[in-house]
Amino acid sequence: MAVKENPDKTEKTRKLAEFKTLLEKKIAETETELESLKVLLEHVDKALLERGFKRADITKIKPAKAPVLPPVLEYETVIPLKSFAGDLLANLYISRDSMRVTIAEDKNLNVKTPPFQQFLVERVLGKMREKDSEAASKGEITPDNIFSYELILEGDILKEIVVRNVTADRLRELKSSIHWTLEKMHEKAERPSYVGRSK
Cβ neighbours around 166 below 10 Å, total: 21
42's CB contacts (< 8 A; 6+ apart) are: none
The Cα–Cα gap between 28 and 135 comes to 25
Q: Give tens-digit pLDDT for 39-64.
A: 777 777 777 777 665 555 545 545 55
Pairing of β 157-164 and β 88-94: unpaired
Structural domain boundaries of the chain? 10-63+73-194
Q: Which of 72-76, 99-103, 116-120, 184-188 has the lowest mean pLDDT?
A: 72-76
Going from the C-alpha of 155 to that of each of 90, 128, 140, the distances in angstroms are: 18, 26, 38
